Amino acid sequence: MNNLLILGAGGMGHMIQETALQIGYESVAFLDDAKKGKDIIGKCCDYENFLQSYDTAVAAFGDNNMRLCWTERLMEAGYQVPAIVHPSAVVSPSAVIGRGSFVMHRAVVNTNTVIEHGVLVSSGAVIDHDSYIASGVNIGLGSIVKANCTIATGVRVEAGDVIFSTRRKIDGVDNRNLEDAIYAFGFGPKCSYVKPFGAGHINETYAVYMPGEEGDELAYVLQRVNSNVFKDPAGVMENIFGVTEYLRGVIRAEGGDPDRETLSYIKTKDGCNYFEDAEGEPWRCYNFIADSMCYQLVEDPEQFYQSGNSFGHFLKQLGNYPASRLIETIPDFHNTVKRYHAFEVARKRDLKNRAAFCKEEIAFVQKREKDCAVLVRQQEDGTLPLRVTHNDTKLNNILFDSETKKGLCIIDLDTIMPGLAANDFGDSIRFGAATAEEDEKDLSKMHFDIGLYELFARGYLEETKDVLTEAEIQSLPWGARVITLECGIRFLTDYLQGDTYFKTDYPEHNLVRARTQFKLVEEMEQQFEKMQEIVIQYGGCK
């Protein structure tokens, strides 16, 4: 049977009649309470009596409530209630058009849009992608519903109106800046929930969960970058995008998986490297790498060997990336001489009257002023070349494969800059070859583990011994000493200045951190000859 029964013989009913005949219906009849004519065969209340003659019916009323009410009555009565789409309309194959809805002349319904039953999309209207139009809505002539909109049941969008994207409540979003960032990167319409993520000292980090095949899945990592620390966010992100996009090509050439072996940063919907919120703070986003894990401390010596291998491989992969292309986003980041001078300024100013509580630590630093210059002088005289360096090579900045337990991906690339191999090597040692966390209050638990140092050096030099010069290899033990000293100086300086850089949980937190670093420096000094012998052995030096 190819006959259509239309409830409502007004102007809208006759537009539906014309469309129905164009798309293949052979005959059309009306039910109407007020009008008369040869093709009007009864009143609307007679609809159940025509089921045998017309098994297909629609309700064509301009009033939203009437159209929706009668559409649902027809469905309940057992009629087939089709959607009627004019041949000139453009409807995406992925769009869903509900029963008894009408898409009129030259209307456009874009990708992944859902239109429920009893909806009228008038001539010339445009509904952009990923929108949701509830039942009984009227989208007026020439109106525009922008992407990711939700139109509630029974709403009338007037002719020519523009409806902007609708924001929805997302669990875990408790401030407007976070919400704006989620929408800036395009996650708002589908995001399931958001929660704090990671244990970094500097940036605010959030896990973004999206619907997956087996429930909600952690899909993205969203970070608000600390602009007090990174004063050139554009430069930071330019470095990151440049290096990670370069690494993808290197990893492919090695036969690896670039989606797992380097971070994939995401641009905003506007095509920018980062989003700036209402307070001027930058946000950036990258894909979460599933089936991976990171360690805050060495739990198994093999992990530290893998750490050395991973950071060594990272330096090797970037061996042909010109360091001159990188922006020095934190000038003199590892200029330990200038770090010492900043410490002396903080000591003399003593803004928070704290110097009296750390006299021993101050004396420790002053006794080692000359050590601060060892690597800086070799860089300045050309003995040590600048390379592309990570500059924050802690164990917890490596993702390990959850199954193989091998190093998978280097993360936290904020400090990618030109630097010395010794700096990266040293930062790994001062963090990973320690037997306690860097804020351990009980110094009897904090020691420098020469065995872990050897494991890291072996893994690192297996990857880099053919890349590094002999002078660079011999500088590595000094890297461990100087960077550990430098980190302690930075903690102590921040303590004297009132904790303006590192996040702290209590007033003495930075002082406690400084003390752990100085304990490591002392023990490195005691074992320095052995440290030198190890790098010569694994680096193949004469």
The yes-or-no verdict on residue 198 having pLDDT over 80 is no
Cα 482 → chain centroid: 34
Half-sphere exposure (Cβ direction) of 218: Cα atoms closer than 13 Å: 14
Residue labelled with tokens 């494991």: 455
Task: Please state which CATH number belongs to domain 3-82.
Answer: 3.40.50.20
Portions of the chain given CATH number 3.40.50.20: 3-82
Give the CA angle between residues 463, 464, 469 to the nearest 5°: 165
* 313 vs 307: CA distance, rounded Å: 10
Between strands 150-151 and 156-157, the pairing is: unpaired
> Please, which residues have CB within 8 angstroms of residue 33's CB and are 6 or more apart in sequence?
43, 44, 45
* 10 vs 333: CA distance, rounded Å: 76
Find, among 63, 160, 159, 157, the residue nearest to 118 by Cα: 63
Q: Structure tokens of 14?
A: 């006759």
Which percentage of the chain shows pLDDT scores above 90?
79
| Active site (annotated) includes residue 117 | no
Helix (H, G, I), strand (E, B) or coil at 494: helix
Identify the weakest region by mean pLDDT among 156-160, 200-204, 333-337, 339-343.
200-204
Portions of the chain given CATH number 2.160.10.10: 87-166
* 286 vs 222: CA distance, rounded Å: 7
Find, among 20, 30, 109, the residue nearest to 70 by Cα: 30
Q: Please name every residue paired with 126 in a beta bridge, in sequence order, or none if there are none.
A: 108, 144
Task: Please state which CATH number belongs to domain 292-539.
Answer: 3.90.1200.10
Q: Which residues are annotated as a binding site for substrate?
A: 32-33, 62
Helix (H, G, I), strand (E, B) or coil at 117: coil
The yes-or-no verdict on residue 55 having pLDDT over 90 is no
The yes-or-no verdict on residue 65 having pLDDT over 90 is yes
* 476 vs 537: CA distance, rounded Å: 13
pLDDT at 200 (0 to 100):
65
Whole-Å CA distances, 227 to 236, 264, 284, 417: 11, 22, 12, 17
How much is the average pLDDT of 476-481? Answer: 98
Under a CB-based contact definition with an 8 Å cutoff, are residues 398 and 311 in contact? yes
> Please, which residues have CB within 8 angstroms of residue 169's CB and are 6 or more apart in sequence?
none
Whole-angstrom Cα Rg for the chain: 33
* 13 vs 59: CA distance, rounded Å: 8
Helix (H, G, I), strand (E, B) or coil at 318: coil
Helix (H, G, I), strand (E, B) or coil at 523: helix
For the entire predicted model, the pTM comes to 0.72
How much is the average pLDDT of 196-206? Answer: 79
Question: Mind listing the pLDDT tens digit for each residue in 326-358?
Answer: 999 888 999 999 999 999 999 999 999 999 999
Helix (H, G, I), strand (E, B) or coil at 314: helix
* 335 vs 333: CA distance, rounded Å: 6
Other Cβ atoms less than 10 A from the Cβ of 15: the count is: 18
Under a CB-based contact definition with an 8 Å cutoff, are residues 119 and 102 in contact? yes
* 216 vs 209: CA distance, rounded Å: 6
> How does residue 201 score in pLDDT terms, banded at 50, 70 and 90?
low
Counting beta carbons within 10 angstroms of the beta carbon of residue 498, is it exposed (0 to 12), middle (13 to 18) or buried (19 or more)? middle
Under a CB-based contact definition with an 8 Å cutoff, are residues 57 and 73 in contact? no
Residue labelled with tokens 């009893």: 118
pLDDT at 199 (0 to 100):
66
pLDDT at 188 (0 to 100):
85
Question: Is the CATH code 3.40.50.300 the one for domain 87-166?
Answer: no
Other Cβ atoms less than 10 A from the Cβ of 480: the count is: 27
Q: Which residues are annotated as a binding site?
A: 32-33, 62
Portions of the chain given CATH number 3.90.1200.10: 292-539
* 235 vs 418: CA distance, rounded Å: 13
Mean pLDDT over the full length of the chain: 93
Question: Mind listing the pLDDT tens digit for each residue in 9-41?
Answer: 999 999 999 999 999 999 999 999 998 888 999
Q: Structure tokens of 54?
A: 């017309």
Alpha-carbon dihedral angle through residues 413, 417, 422, 428, given to the nearest 10 degrees: -10
* 456 vs 304: CA distance, rounded Å: 6
pLDDT at 83 (0 to 100):
96
The yes-or-no verdict on residue 298 having pLDDT over 90 is no
Write down the catalytic residue from 14, 105, 117, 129.
129
pLDDT at 537 (0 to 100):
94
Under a CB-based contact definition with an 8 Å cutoff, are residues 187 and 268 in contact? no
